[in-house]
């Protein structure tokens, strides 16, 4: 592990550090092309590690892995820096302008739910800005990080620019990186508690951090919404990737006149999923691990103890054939939970949500914002004024109206409260992955 950090540090002063932006961009674009060329290998690796259905990995994980490099190659090529003509005391002028410099060696620590996607979301901009990286993927999902190393070699990336260390987080590879004084900044995606532990380590040496953490994201369904679109959208936001999505919906607030109809239709949608990890979107894959299955089933039991009515699901599906032995849980809907129950407050990271009725806009804004988290929200309404008004009142990093997970990689992405620190995406990533220097020239 020490060798990885040393190699990353040395590479800053080697050929990589001497490259022009245009030369770096060429290499980074080649990485995107090579990921696309080896898409089948990446797909097989991601499916083998996560157990996720092929349609999820082939439509989301792998294309985004390539797009993350292509987009940041573009951003670094096209983003100007600021300059000001400044009046001087003697009646003359000075030119103030900014140069961007790499921060140094960046530790990239990632989770298991979208391994390649989330890792490249950070490696792409870090390299575009001229840094070197040491990546620590989750021990659950190490393969695509290793495969990306093959891609780096294939495109001729200089030695030491991209490094991977394997091992667990706490007390092992992750903590080694966060404690290492040669790591200049840490970008992390994962649980809020882990973020807090990393932040303490980063304090030593006053090192910068960027955190994308957990969520307990609300969906707000107004009575005027198009229920067909709502159910289609929430079937994705609650169940995609078996609910193992930081942006997933776990709290649903529905205006009372359409509450019963919504629950009826959502139940039909939930029951339609079959357990399996094929290329067919009608199938819901397994959870990542036995440990996570135990956690999710623990919440299923707790929901009942907290007074929930289990509308559908609540256990483990009957399995046969290839699925036997997978860590499956049933897609689950609850009603009757109190807004302040632990199941409605804590991130479960499973295919489940509690549905609660509301009577007024003010009430639902209060309910949606009454959380420690602040990652995203979705609003479902056909009323344009209300859509803008309610969206702006959500205390979150991202609010979707009549859609979900519609990402434009140029936009700022991140969370407020316990959901994160900082924003990445487009030019916002440059803020984290570079140090700016202001130069003032008296003319
Ligand atoms: P964890 O926080 O458990 O782990 C994330 C990574 O951190 C893993 O590589 C892990 O290693 C490592 N790690 C764990 N402890 C430490 C430590 N003390 N020091 C350094 N590294 C450490 O998250 P999960 O993997 O369980 O991922 C799920 C979480 O990620 C959810 O909370 C989800 O909301 C969040 N997430 C947030 C996103 C966002 O954009 N906001 C996007 C996707 C997920 P290892 O596990 O190998 O031991």
pLDDT band at 194 (very low <50, low <70, confident <90, very high): very high
Task: Identify the architecture of domain 217-401 in CATH.
Answer: 3-Layer(aba) Sandwich (3.40)
Of all residues in the chain, the percent with pLDDT exceeding 70 is: 100
Of all residues in the chain, the percent with pLDDT exceeding 90 is: 96
For the cut 80, the answer to whether the pLDDT of residue 76 exceeds it is yes
> How many A from CA of 94 to the centre of ligand 1?
47
- Of all atoms in ligand 1, which is nearest to the CA of residue 140? 47
C-beta of residue 127 within 8 angstroms of C-beta of residue 153: no
Distance (Å) of CA 199 to CA 171, 184, 194, 390? 15, 13, 9, 33
pLDDT of residue 309: 98
Q: Which residues pair with 189 in a beta bridge?
A: 212
pLDDT of residue 317: 94
Distance (Å) of CA 139 to CA 50, 109, 143, 186, 288? 11, 11, 9, 18, 11
pLDDT of residue 323: 77
Radius of gyration of the chain (CA): 23
For the cut 90, the answer to whether the pLDDT of residue 168 exceeds it is yes
Query: Spelled out in words, what is the top-level CATH class assigned to the domain 1-213+419-442?
Result: alpha beta
- Of all atoms in ligand 1, which is nearest to the CA of residue 419? 41
Q: What is the pLDDT of residues 243-295, one digit of tens each?
A: 999 999 999 999 999 999 999 999 999 999 999 887 788 889 999 999 999 99
pLDDT of residue 202: 97
Active-site pick, 46, 175, 212, 255 = 212
113 CB near ligand 1 (under 6 Å)? yes
84 CB near ligand 1 (under 6 Å)? no
pLDDT band at 324 (very low <50, low <70, confident <90, very high): confident
Q: What is the pLDDT of residues 226-246, one digit of tens each?
A: 999 999 999 999 999 999 999
402 three-state secondary structure: coil
61 CB near ligand 1 (under 6 Å)? no
Burial-class residue 276 by CB neighbours within 10 Å (0-12, 13-18, 19+): buried
pLDDT of residue 284: 94
pLDDT band at 319 (very low <50, low <70, confident <90, very high): confident
The answer to whether residue 212 is catalytic is yes
> How many A from CA of 419 to the centre of ligand 1?
12
Q: How many CA atoms lie within 13 A of 401 on its CB side?
A: 14
> How many A from CA of 308 to the centre of ligand 1?
29
- Mean pLDDT computed over 110-139: 98
Q: Which residues pair with 135 in a beta bridge?
A: 108, 164
For the cut 90, the answer to whether the pLDDT of residue 52 exceeds it is yes
Q: List the residue whose alpha carbon is closest to atom 18 of ligand 1.
A: 170
pLDDT of residue 277: 81
215 CB near ligand 1 (under 6 Å)? yes
> How many A from CA of 440 to the centre of ligand 1?
42
For the cut 80, the answer to whether the pLDDT of residue 322 exceeds it is no
Tokens standing for residue 75: 């951003």
349 CB near ligand 1 (under 6 Å)? yes
244 CB near ligand 1 (under 6 Å)? no
For the cut 80, the answer to whether the pLDDT of residue 157 exceeds it is yes
C-beta of residue 235 within 8 angstroms of C-beta of residue 353: no
pLDDT of residue 282: 85
pLDDT of residue 278: 78
C-beta of residue 347 within 8 angstroms of C-beta of residue 292: no
pLDDT of residue 321: 78
> How many A from CA of 212 to the centre of ligand 1?
9
pLDDT band at 346 (very low <50, low <70, confident <90, very high): very high
Map out the domains of the chain as residue ranges: 1-213+419-442, 217-401
pLDDT of residue 316: 96
């Amino acid at each position: 592990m020490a060798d990885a950090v040393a190699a990353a540090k040395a590479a800053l002063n080697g050929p990589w550090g001497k490259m022009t932006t245009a030369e770096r961009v060429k290499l980074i674009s080649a990485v995107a092309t090579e990921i696309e060329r080896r898409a089948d290998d990446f797909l097989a690796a991601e499916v083998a590690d996560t157990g996720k259905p092929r349609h999820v990995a082939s439509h989301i994980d792998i294309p985004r892995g390539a797009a993350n490099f292509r987009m940041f190659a573009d951003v670094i090529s096209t983003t100007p820096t600021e300059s000001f003509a400044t009046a001087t005391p003697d009646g003359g002028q000075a030119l103030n302008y900014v140069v961007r410099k790499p921060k140094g060696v960046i530790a990239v620590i990632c989770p298991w739910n979208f391994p390649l996607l989330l890792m490249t979301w950070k490696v792409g901009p870090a390299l575009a800005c001229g840094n070197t990286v040491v990546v620590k993927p989750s021990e659950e999902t190490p393969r695509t990080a290793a495969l990306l190393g093959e891609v780096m070699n294939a495109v001729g990336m200089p030695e030491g620019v991209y490094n991977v260390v394997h091992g667990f987080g706490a007390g092992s590879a992750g903590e080694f990186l966060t404690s290492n004084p040669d790591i200049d900044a840490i970008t992390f995606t994962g649980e809020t508690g882990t973020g807090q532990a990393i932040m303490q380590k980063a304090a030593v040496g006053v090192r910068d951090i960027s955190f994308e953490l957990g969520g307990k994201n609300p969906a707000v369904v107004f009575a005027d919404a198009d229920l067909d679109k709502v159910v289609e959208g929430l079937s994705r936001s609650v169940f995609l990737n078996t609910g193992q999505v930081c942006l997933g919906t776990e709290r649903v607030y529905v205006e009372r006149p359409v509450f019963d109809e919504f629950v009826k239709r959502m139940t039909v949608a939930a029951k339609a999923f079959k357990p399996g990890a094929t290329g067919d979107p009608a199938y819901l894959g397994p959870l990542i691990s036995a440990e996570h299955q135990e956690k999710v089933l623990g919440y299923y039991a707790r929901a009942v103890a907290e007074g929930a009515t289990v509308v559908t699901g609540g256990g483990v599906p009957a399995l046969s054939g290839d699925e036997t032995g997978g860590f499956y849980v049933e897609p689950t809907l609850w009603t009757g939970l109190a807004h302040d129950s632990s199941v409605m407050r804590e991130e479960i990271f499973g295919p489940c949500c509690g549905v609660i009725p509301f009577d007024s806009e003010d009430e639902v804004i209060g309910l949606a914002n009454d959380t420690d988290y602040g990652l995203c929200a979705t609003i479902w309404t056909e009323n344009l004024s209300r859509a803008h008004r309610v969206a702006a009142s959500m205390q979150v990093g991202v609010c979707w109206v009549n859609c979900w997970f519609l990402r434009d990689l140029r936009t700022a992405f991140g969370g407020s409260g316990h959901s994160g620190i900082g924003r990445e995406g487009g030019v916002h990533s440059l803020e984290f992955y570079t140090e700016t220097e202001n130069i003032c020239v008296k003319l």
